[in-house]
Structure 1
Amino acid sequence: MEALEIARWQFGITTVYHFFFVPITIGLVFLVAILQTAWHRTGDERYLRLTRFYGKLFLINFAMGIATGIVQEFQFGMNWSDYSRFVGDVFGAPLAIEGLLAFFMESTFLGLWIFGWDRLKPALHLACIWIAAIGTVLSAYFILAANSFMQNPVGFAMNEEAGRAELTDFWAVMTNKVVLATFPHTIFACFMVGGALMAGVAMWHMIRRPERDLEAFRTAMRLGAVTLLVSGLGTMISGDFQGKVMTEVQPMKMAAAEGLYEDEAPAPFSLLTIGTLDGREPVLELQVPHLLSYLGTGTWDGEVRGIDSLQAEYTELYGPGDYAPNVPVTYWTFRMMITAGALAMLAGAWMLWATRSRFLPPTARHPRLPDPHSREGRWLLRAAVVLPFLPLAANSFGWIFTEMGRQPWVVFGLMPTEAGVSPSVGAGTVLTSLIAFTALYAVLAAVELKLLLTTIGKGLPDADPPEQVDDPDAPLAYAY
C-alpha cells in the first residue's frame, strides 16, 4: 500500500473513532442540563440523582473525546502537510475561534460545574452546565464550517504563486449553504444519540432492577425516548434540506449515493439493489418512484444527474481522471445511516408505548413492566441494550458517507486527495503510526466501556444535596 492509502485509512479510523464521542457529548450534556433545571425548579431529589448519574456518564465520554480529538490536529501536519498548507489560511479563523472561544468556554464552565456544587449558588451552578452545553454546539458549528469549505469552497481567492487558498470573506465561510444545512442535521442527530443513551440505560434498569429507583428511571427513559423521537423528526426534515443542497453543490455525491449512472427525470429512489458491486447492472431493485427527484430537487419530476454525464463534465473541466467516489461504500453507508436511525426511533416509540401511564392499575404507582424472563421482557431488554448504538452507528455512517462521497477531492473542485498528502512521509512511517494509534484506541475503547458499564451498573447515587461552603481555603469537592 502507498502512503496515501495508509494515511487515508489512519485519518478515517481516528476520525470515526473520535466521532463516537462527539454526538454523545453534545446530546447528553443538554439532557443533563434539563435534569438539573428540573431539580432546581422542583427540589425533587430524583432529578438531582439523575443529574449526577448521567452527568458522570457524560464526563467519562467528554474526557475520552478530548483525548482522541487532539490526534486529529497532529495528523493535519504529519500526514497531510500539503493539504494543511493549501487550506490553512481559510481554516485558521474558524478553528482558532473554535478553540479560543467555544472549547475554552465549554471546558472552563464545565470545570466550574464539576467542582462548584458546594461553592456556587444553585442558579449560577446551573448556568455553568447550560453555558458548557452551548459551548459544545458553538464548537460543532465552527468545525462544520471548516469542513463545509471542503465540500463547497467559498469566501476565498487562489494565490497561484503560493499555491494555496486565501481567505477573503470570513462571513461567506461561516454562512456557507452547506454548513447551514449540515449544522441542524448534525445537532439533531447528536440529540438522537443522547436521548437513546439515556433511554436505553434507564430501560435496562427498569427491566432488570424494577425494585430500585423505578420512578426515577422511568422519568429518564421517557425524557430520553421523547428526545430521540423529536430529534429524529428534526434529523429527517433537516436531512431533506441537506440532500437538496448536496445535489446542487455536489451532484456526483448524490448520484453515487443512489448508484445512478444515467440522468433521469423523474428519478426513483432505490431502497435495495442487488447486482454488480458498483450497481451498474442490477439484478433486483426495490424502488420508490419519483422519490429521488424530490429528495434532490424538491419537485417530483426533477432531473437528477447521473455518474456518467458528470464524469464527462468533470473530465472536460478538470482534466483526465476518475471523478466518481467509491459507489458501493457511498450507496450502502447512505442506506445504513437511514436504517439505523429509523430503527432507533422505532425502538424509542416502543419503549414509550410499553411504559405508558394509562396502563397503570388504579392503585399502583408503577407501570406494569414485563418480566425480564418473558418473551416481551427479553426483547425489550435487548432493545434497551442495542438502542444507544443505533443512532451512534447512524452518525458514523453519515460521516463516512459525507467524506467518502466527496472523493476524489479533499477540497471539492480545488485539490485532489492525492495532492494533499505529506510528500516527505513514507508508507512505513504512516503504517507504524496507524498500528500504534489503532492499538492505543483499542485500549482506550476497553477503558471507556469498562468505566461506562461500571457506572451504569452501580445505578443512581444518593441524593446528598450540596451544602454551600463559605471557607475559600476548603478543598474542592468533586461531586461525581
Structure 2
Amino acid sequence: MELDIVGLSRLQFAMTALYHFLFVPLTLGLSVLVAIMETVYVMSSRPIWRQMTKFWGTLFGINFAMGVATGIVMEFQFGMNWSYYSHYVGDIFGAPLALEGLMAFFMEATFVGLFFFGWDRLSKVSHLAVTWLVAIATNFSALWILIANGWMQNPVGATFNPQTMRMEIHDFAAVIFNPVAQAKFVHTVSAGYVVASIFVLGVSAWYLLKGRHGELAKRSMTVAASFGLAASLSVVVLGDESGYLSTEHQKMKLAAVEAMWHTEPAPAAFTLFGLPDQDARETHYAIHIPWVMGLIGTRSLTTEIPGIHDLVDLAKVRIRQGIRAYDALEQILAENSVKAISPPLAERFEADGHLLGYALLLKRYVDDPRKATDAQIDQAAWDTVPQVAPLFWSFRVMVVLGMFFIVLTATFFVLSARRRLDAHPWLLKVAVAAIPLPWIAAECGWIVAELGRQPWSIEGVLPTAVAVSNLGVTTVLTTLIGFAALYTGLLVIEMKLMLKAIRKGPEHEHVRSPGGAVPILGHSGMLRTAPMISEE
C-alpha cells in the first residue's frame, strides 16, 4: 500500500475498524448467552443462574463500553477522511448508518443501563425482558451497519443522477433486503456467537483448572458448548452462502481468494496450498483438490469460475464503456442542464452510465479519462485485482479455525452430556489456549470482505482513490498515529478490566429463602445455607 493520502486514509480506517471489531463480536455473542442464562434463572429460580447472569453480564458491560468508544470514531471518519464518498453515496449509506447509531447509542445503551441497575427495581420477568431487549438491540445494531456495508459490496436500489452528481436511492427495500447484506449479517452475527462461546468456554475451563467456581464454570461451559456448536455449524453454512453470492456479485474477489489466475474447466479445483505471486501473476507450489471450488462457488458441475486474467480483460472493456459515459456526463455538465437533460445526451449516458465508475479508475493516472492511453487503461484494469496473497491466506486461516471450533465445541458438548467436563485437564488447557483464536478468525473474515473489495469503496461504482477527502498527508498521518495510540490504550484498559473481573470471579449472591435461611453461593460455587441475620 502506497503511503499517499489514499493509502494512509485506507490504513487509518482499517486500523480503527480492526480495533473496533475486537469488541463487536464478543458483545454480540455475550448479549445472547447472558439472556439465555437469565432465562434459565427465571424458569428455575436457582440462584446460581442469577450469579452466572450477573458475572458474564459484567464482562459484557466492559466490552460494550469499549465497543461504543471505538465505534464513534469510525462514523466520524466518513466525513473526515472520506468526504467525497459521503457526498457521492450519502443518500443511501446515511440512512442505515443513522439507524445503527440510534440502535447502539439510544435503544441498546438504555436497556444496558436497565440491565445493570434494575436487578432490585424490576420484577424477575421484567428484568428478563430487558436482558433480551439488550440482545435484540445489539444484534439489530449490527444489522443496520451490515446493510450499509452489504450495499458497498453490492450496490442495489440506487442510480447515479448526473444533475446532482450523486447516487440517489429509488428502492429502499432493495437496500434492506440486499442478499449480500443479509448473508453478511447472519454470517457476522454467527461468528460473534462463536467468539463469545469460545470465550465463555475458555474462561470456565480456567476456573476448573484452578479449582474455583466449579458449579458456575460447568453450567457456563454447558451453555457455551451447546450454543457454540450450533453457531460454529451455522458459520460454515452461512459462509458458503457468502461465497456463492461472491460468484454472482464479486467475481474478482472470489478469484483472488482462490489465487485463480486463469479460468479453469468446470468444476474448478480448490487450492489447498500455494504461494501466490502477484508480480509474476501465478501461484507457485499449488496443491489442488479437484471439483471442490466449483461445487462451493457455483453449486454445479458445469458452471465456470472466471480467472483473474479473464476478469481483467472484462475490466478493460468496461473501462472503455465507462469512458463513453464520462464523455456524455461532461457534455451534460457543459450544457449546465439544471432542469432537464437533452434526450440524445440522456440516451447516451443511459447506455453506459452504470459503468461510469470504471472510467473513474483512470483518475489515478490522468485527470481526464477520455485522454487515457491504452497502457493506462491496461494499468487501471489490473488495479481491479486486490492483493491476492493476504486474501488467499486469510481465507484459509479462517476456514481452518472454523473447523477447529466445530471440533472443540462438539467435544465439550459430548463431555457436558456425560457430565465429564473436568475429566480431561489437557482439554481444559486447550479451551483456555483457544480463547484468542475466534478473534483471529473474525479479523481474517473482515480482511477477506474488505480487502477483497479493493480498489472499490462501492463495488463497480466509486473507486477508493476517488472517495478520499482533500487532506494533507501530514494531517492523516498525525491522526493515524493518534488513533493508534488511543485505541491501543483502550485495548490495554479493556484487557486489564476483563482480567481483573475474571480473577475476582462472580460476586457472592445472598438470597432469602422461604425457610428463613440464606442460601449463599460461596467461593466454590456450591450452595450452602446460613442462619438469617436480622436487619436490625
The verdict on a shared fold, with TM-score over 0.5 as the criterion, is: yes
**Residue 5 (structure 2) aligns with:** 3
Tell me the residue number matched to 1:391. Answer: 438
- For 1:312, the equivalent position in structure 2 comes to 313
Deviation at 1:184, TM superposition (A): 1.2
For structure 2, which runs of at least 5 residues remain unmatched after alignment? 321-376, 514-536
CA contact 2:278–2:387 (8 Å) conserved in 1: no
Aligned residues of 1:294 and 1:302 also touching (Cα < 8 A): no
Name the residue aligned to 1:197: 199
Counterparts of 1:256-335 in structure 2, within 5 Å, are 256-264=256-264, 265-274=266-275, 276=277, 280-319=281-320, 320=377, 321=380, 322-335=383-396
TM-score by length of 1: 0.90
Residue in structure 2 matched with residue 338 of structure 1 by the alignment: 399
Change (3 A) 1:157 1:90: same
SS in 1 for 2:453: coil
Displacement of 1:278 in angstroms is: 6.2
Shift in alpha-carbon separation, 1:324–1:465, aligned structure 2, 3 A: farther
Q: Distance in 2 between matches of 1:454 and 1:202?
A: 15
Partner amino acid, structure 1, of 2:155: P
Q: Which residue in the other structure is 1:449 paired with?
A: 495
One-letter amino acid of the structure 1 residue matched with residue 298 of structure 2: T
In structure 2, C-alpha distance between the alignment counterparts of 1:464 and 1:84, rounded to whole Å: 54
- Taking the aligned partners of 2:201 and 2:441, their CA distance within structure 1 comes to 17
Match for 1:464 among 510, 525, 531?
510
Give the CA deviation at 1:122. 1.2
1:50/1:434 Cα in 2 relative to 1: closer, same or farther (>3 Å)? same
Q: Which runs of 5+ in 1 are unaligned?
A: 360-366, 371-376, 468-480
Distance 1:85 1:149, change over 3 A: same
Q: 3-state DSSP class of the match of 1:267?
A: coil
Matched AA of 1:242: S
Residue range with higher mean Cα deviation, 335-344 or 162-171: 335-344
Would you say the 8 A contact 2:275–2:389 is kept in 1?
no
- Paired residue type of 1:446: V
Closer, same or farther in 2 for the Cα pair 1:98/1:466, shift >3 Å? farther
Q: Which moved more, 1:282-291 or 1:62-71?
A: 282-291
In structure 2, what is the Cα distance between the partners aligned to 1:145 and 1:390?
27
Match of 2:465 in 1: 418
Counterpart residue number, 2:373:
none
> What is the CA-CA distance between 1:387 and the residue it aligns to?
2.0
2:64 maps to which of 58, 62, 65: 62
User: Where in structure 2 are the equivalents of 1:349-368 lying within 5 Å?
Assistant: 349-353=410-414, 357=418
Match of 1:41 in 2: 43
Measured in 1, the distance between the counterparts of 2:267 and 2:228 equals 33
Is 2:423 the counterpart of 1:369? yes
- SS of the equivalent of 2:191 reads helix
**1:89-141: CA deviations, max 9, x gaps?**
11122122222346422111111111111111111111001011101111111
Give the CA deviation at 1:388. Answer: 2.4
Indicate conservation of the 8 Å contact 1:117/1:466, yes or no: no
Name the amino acid aligned to 1:215. Answer: E
Structure 1 pair 279–290 and aligned structure 2 pair: CA distance change class (3 A): farther
Question: Across the two proteins, how many residue pairs are aligned to each other?
Answer: 450
Structure 1 distance, partners of 2:415, 2:99, is 46
Q: Partner residue of 1:409?
A: 456
* Offset of residue 189 of structure 1: 0.9
Q: Secondary structure at the match of 1:410?
A: strand
Which residue of structure 2 lines up, in the alignment, with residue 478 of structure 1? none
Moved more, 51-60 or 456-465: 456-465
Deviation per CA, 1:10-55: give whole Å up to 9, x if none: 1001001101111100100100011111111111111111111100
3-state DSSP class of the match of 2:182?
helix
Deviates more, 1:96-105 or 1:60-69: 96-105
C-alpha distance in structure 1 between counterparts of 2:152 and 2:459, whole Å: 6
The alpha-carbon distance between structure 1 residues 50 and 325, as it changes in their structure 2 partners (threshold 3 A), is same
Provide the rounded CA distance (Å) in 1 between the counterparts of 2:185 and 2:491: 27
- Kept after mapping to 2: 8 A contact 1:294/1:300: yes
Give the structure 1 partner of residue 178 of structure 2: 176
Q: Supply the distance in 1 between the matched residues of 2:276 and 2:444 (Cα, whole angstroms).
A: 22
Contact 2:261 2:282 in 1 (8 A): no
Identity of aligned residues (%): 43
Q: CA deviation at 1:436?
A: 0.6
**Would you say the 8 A contact 1:21–1:61 is kept in 2?**
yes
**Alignment correspondent of 1:473:** none
Deviation at 1:458, TM superposition (A): 1.2
2:482 to 424, 436, 439: 436
Distance in 2 (CA, whole Å) between partners of 1:408 and 1:158 is 19
Q: CA deviation at 1:279?
A: 8.0
Q: Which shifted more, 346-355 or 61-70?
A: 346-355
**Structure with bigger gyration radius:** 2
The one-letter code of the counterpart of 1:26 is L
Give the Cα–Cα distance (whole angstroms) in 2 for the partners of residues 135 and 388 of structure 1: 26
Cα distance in 2 for partners of 1:450, 1:227 equals: 27
Cα distance in 2 for partners of 1:443, 1:92 equals 30
Shift of 1:460: 2.0
Residue 207 of structure 1: which of 185, 205, 209 is its match?
209
TM-superposition CA deviations, 1:134-156 (whole Å, max 9, x none): 01111111111111111111111
Deviations 1:276-305 (A, max 9, x none): 366844442222211111111111342101
Per mean C-alpha deviation after superposition, the further-off stretch among 310-319 and 91-100 is 91-100
CA contact (8 A) 1:259 1:280 kept: no
C-alpha deviation, 1:433, in angstroms: 0.4
Counterparts in 2 of 1:279 and 1:201: CA distance versus 1, 3 Å: farther
SS in 1 for 2:460: coil
Distance in 1, matches of 2:103 and 2:191, equals: 24
Bigger shift: 386-395 or 124-133? 386-395
SS of alignment partner, residue 167 of structure 2: strand
Distance in 2 separating the partners of 1:433 and 1:383? 40
CA distance in 2, matches of 1:241, 1:67: 32
Matching residue of 1:87: 89
Indicate the structure whose relative CO is greater, using CA pairs within 8 Å and at least 6 residues apart.
1
In the TM superposition, what is the alpha-carbon distance from 1:356 to its structure 2 partner? Answer: 5.1
Q: TM-score, normalised by structure 2?
A: 0.81
Secondary structure at 2:120 match in 1: coil
Cα RMSD for the two superposed structures: 1.8
Q: Give the superposition deviation at 1:6.
A: 0.8
Following the alignment from structure 2 to structure 1, what is the Cα–Cα distance between the partners of residues 504 and 104?
33
Matched AA of 2:60 = F
Q: Which amino acid aligns with 1:458?
A: K
CA deviation string 1:45-66 (max 9, x = no partner): 1111111110010000000000
Indicate conservation of the 8 Å contact 1:294/1:301, yes or no: no
- Decide whether aligned partners of structure 1 residues 140 and 134 sit closer, same or farther in structure 2, where only a CA change above 3 A counts: same
> Aligned equivalents of 2:419 and 2:498: distance in 1?
33
**1:325–1:283 CA distance, 2 compared to 1 (3 A):** closer
Code of the residue aligned with 1:177 in structure 2: it is P
Match in the other structure for 1:247: 247
Shift in Å, 1:227: 1.5
2-side partners of 1:77 and 1:43: how far apart? 50
Deviates more, 1:270-279 or 1:175-184: 270-279
Confirm or deny: 8 A CA contact 2:271 2:286 kept in the other structure.
yes
